[in-house]
C-alpha cells in the first residue's frame, strides 16, 4: 500500500504520518478517514477516482491494490 501511494499519490498528497500536501486541494492521507468513511474510499478506488481535485489524474486500482492502500491509510492513524 505504501509503495502504491508513494508512486501514484505523493506528487500532490502527503502520504506519511507527517508533512503537508504539496497541492492545496489534496488532503494528507493521514487525515482522509476524518473526511471520508473508509468504505467510500474503497468504492472510489474500485470505480476510479477522477473527481478529487482538478489536477488529479484518474486512478483505478485492482482489488488487491485497494486492500493494500486501505490498510496503509488505516495504519497512518495508529
Q: Tens digit of pLDDT for each residue in 40-66?
A: 888 888 877 665 567 777 777 899 999
How far apart (Å, rounded) are the C-alpha atoms in residues 72 and 66? 10
Q: Is the pTM of this model over 0.75?
A: yes
d(CA 25, CA 52): 8
Query: How much is the mean pLDDT over the chain?
Result: 86
Contacts of 51 (CB under 8 A, 6+ apart): none
Residue 18 has pLDDT above 70, yes or no: yes
Of 1, 59, 69, the residue nearest 38 (C-alpha) = 69
Read out DSSP for 16-48? SSS---SSTTS--GGGHHHHS-HHHHHHHHHH-
Domains, the chain, ordered by start? 2-76 (1.10.760)
Amino acid at each position: 500500500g505504501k509503495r502504491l501511494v508513494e508512486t501514484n499519490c505523493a506528487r500532490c498528497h502527503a502520504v506519511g504520518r507527517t508533512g503537508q500536501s504539496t497541492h492545496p486541494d489534496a488532503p494528507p492521507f493521514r487525515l482522509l478517514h476524518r473526511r471520508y468513511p473508509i468504505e467510500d474510499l474503497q468504492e472510489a478506488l474500485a470505480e476510479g477516482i477522477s473527481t478529487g481535485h482538478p489536477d488529479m489524474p484518474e486512478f483505478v486500482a485492482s482489488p488487491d491494490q485497494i486492500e493494500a492502500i486501505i490498510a496503509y491509510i488505516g495504519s497512518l492513524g495508529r
